[in-house]
Amino acid sequence: MNGPPEPFKIKMIEHVGMPDQIRRSEAIREAGYNTFLLRSEDVYIDLLTDSGTSAMSDYQWSGLLLGDEAYAGARNFYNLEKAIQDVLGYKYIVPTHQGRGAEHLMYSYLVKSGQLVPRNMYFTTSKLHVELPGGKMVDVIIDEAHDPENLHLFKGNIDFKKLQAFIDEYGVEKIAFVNVEMDVNMAGGQPVSMQNLRDLREFCNDYNLKIIYDATRSSENAYFIRERERGYENTPIIDILREMMSYSDGCIYSSKKDCLVNIGGFLATSDKDIFEHCRNMVVVYEGLHTYGGMAGRDMEAVARGLKESTSYEYLKYRINQVRYLGDLLMKAGVPIVKPTGGHGVFINALKFLPHLERKQWPAQTLAAAIYEDSGVRSMERGAVSKGRDKETGENIFPALELVRLTIPRRVYTNTHMEYTAESVIRLYEKRDSIRGLKMVYEPEYLRFFQSRFEVLESSKSYLET
């Protein structure tokens, strides 16, 4: 067995179609070789994201019927507040429609023009919400995180020397706050250790600096702490989570991942100033402070899902399914980010397609090729996602140029993992024949969502068959 069997049974299914090769070639061309622009009905296995794509439990579904759709003071808000207080330990919460709504409220309050936000690698929407009020996100993750081959068990850790260097160079008043992401998405779903979080608290206390987490995948991070960090082997996940959060001043959270729901987000803090400001601004941008853009029923599903996400049995199954796909690819020699992360398997496109130049967008190319080969939808996580330097306007080419095979929670079986691996391995065997793309349309913000590409050299397909 490749991990523990599923701790659930399936009682409802959704039929999916399998478009043939001709339709897939047509669909990806129509989508400008951007997997975000494909129609879902043209996709067989959807590994675009783990965001909002989870299967809810019967307990969550039954909660939907208990939605209190009052404009103000819905009972589900209080259930959500209590769940967050119990699981994460913060005092105050502000609900938002999804994670970026929380980023907007929190970061526009804490970031003043010209300030820096050190973070353990950027995330796309987080970086933008730091830049919009005039700030700049700077990277303070350990070097190991930028090396796909490095087997460090906590590649999400903060490098204190890098953080110190920013403080020394710019002065502590130029630092808006320190931002720590759990289970770092762009690094391949790599966790932060408890020791690192504890040390960061001490470090920041000396400078009176606030620490705000992006706690989006904190349950999965907590699982890795239990598996990998001495002293936590038998600690309940909920206790690990509460200790993690106790070292911060607040967090933003996209519920669409670990909370096993299709929509939702929140910010949480025990800091009264942050809370009062965000509670006030939420009514401007999201909705009243007891719903923040969510329906009552959605808040109920988040409250229930957050609790379910602290089940060790569930997390063990979840992380092992992702690892299973990673192992299948590694066995065939496909270069991926190691160790396999929490929410997906990240293929190293620079090593997969070494004959392509960076400006031929290797990861974008590979994501399109995987779709065309098998109907499996993945996502680029490299230079297209990173965007341009705000000051020079030049493309930034990060060390990691990755294709993310993101695994929705409780949705696919290991046979789906095997089908996906077979497609990637097939392409790896004929990788020399894969030709690159050129970008022909680029929107100003978060370009990866909507940019369009064409195949280099005129030909019907970039897969030479």
Q: What is the DSSP string of 126-159?
A: HHHHHHTTT-EEEE-B-GGGG-TT---TTTT-B-
Helix residue ranges, H only, 65-111: 75-88, 99-110
User: How many Å separate Cα 115 from the centre of its chain?
Assistant: 25
Contact 190, 141 (CB under 8 A): no
CA angle 368, 253, 49 (to 5 degrees): 15
Using CB under 6 A as the binding rule, the residues of this chain from 211 to 250 that contact ligand F0G are 214, 216
Our CB check for ligand F0G shows the closer of 125 and 378 to be 125
Contacts of 145 by beta carbon, 8 Å cutoff, 6+ apart = 120, 121, 152, 155, 156, 157, 184, 187, 190
Q: Does 104 bind ligand F0G (CB under 6 A)?
A: no
Q: Does 309 bind ligand F0G (CB under 6 A)?
A: no
In 3D space, the residue among 256, 252, 185 whose CA is nearest the CA of residue 221 turns out to be: 185
Q: Does 305 bind ligand F0G (CB under 6 A)?
A: no
Q: Which stretch binds ligand F0G (CB under 6 A): 120-128, 325-333, 348-356, 436-444?
A: 120-128
Contact 420, 402 (CB under 8 A): no
410 is an active site residue: no
257 is an active site residue: yes
Q: Does 408 bind ligand F0G (CB under 6 A)?
A: no
Catalytic choice (257, 318, 386, 447): 257
Contacts of 393 by beta carbon, 8 Å cutoff, 6+ apart = none
Strand partners, 437: 455
**Among positions 99, 148, 188, 191, the unique one binding ligand F0G when judged by CB under 6 A:** 99
Q: Which stretch binds ligand F0G (CB under 6 A): 93-101, 242-250, 437-445, 450-458?
A: 93-101
71 is an active site residue: yes
CB nearest ligand F0G: which residue? Answer: 99
Query: For the window 22-61, what string marks contact with ligand F0G as x by the rule CB under 6 A?
Result: ---------------------------x-x----------
Q: Does 290 bind ligand F0G (CB under 6 A)?
A: no
Using CB under 6 A as the binding rule, the residues of this chain from 243 to 272 that contact ligand F0G are 254, 256, 265
Three-class secondary structure of residue 357 per DSSP: coil
Catalytic choice (214, 249, 258, 298): 214
Catalytic choice (35, 124, 340, 406): 124
Contact 329, 351 (CB under 8 A): no
Using CB under 6 A as the binding rule, the residues of this chain from 182 to 201 that contact ligand F0G are 185
The minimum distance between CB 460 and ligand F0G, in angstroms, equals 31
The minimum distance between CB 225 and ligand F0G, in angstroms, equals 17
Q: Does 126 bind ligand F0G (CB under 6 A)?
A: yes
Contacts of 460 by beta carbon, 8 Å cutoff, 6+ apart = 25
124 is an active site residue: yes
Catalytic choice (33, 77, 448, 462): 448
User: How many Å separate Cα 21 from the centre of its chain?
Assistant: 30
Rounded Cα distance, 26 and 179, in Å: 42
Q: Which stretch binds ligand F0G (CB under 6 A): 4-12, 19-27, 98-106, 314-322?
A: 98-106
The minimum distance between CB 63 and ligand F0G, in angstroms, equals 20
Our CB check for ligand F0G shows the closer of 68 and 214 to be 214
In 3D space, the residue among 52, 47, 56, 44 whose CA is nearest the CA of residue 11 turns out to be: 56
Q: Does 120 bind ligand F0G (CB under 6 A)?
A: no
> Residue 463 carries which DSSP code?
B
CB atoms within 10 A of CB 69: 10
Q: Does 377 bind ligand F0G (CB under 6 A)?
A: no
Structure tokens at 33: 């070789």
Structure tokens at 384: 């297209």
Rounded Cα distance, 181 and 4, in Å: 28
Q: Which stretch binds ligand F0G (CB under 6 A): 108-116, 123-131, 289-297, 328-336?
A: 123-131
Q: Does 159 bind ligand F0G (CB under 6 A)?
A: no
# binding residues, ligand F0G (CB under 6 A)? 15
Residues that bind ligand F0G (CB under 6 A): 49, 51, 98-100, 123, 125-126, 181, 185, 214, 216, 254, 256, 265
- Positions annotated as catalytic residues are 71, 123-124, 214, 257, 381, 448
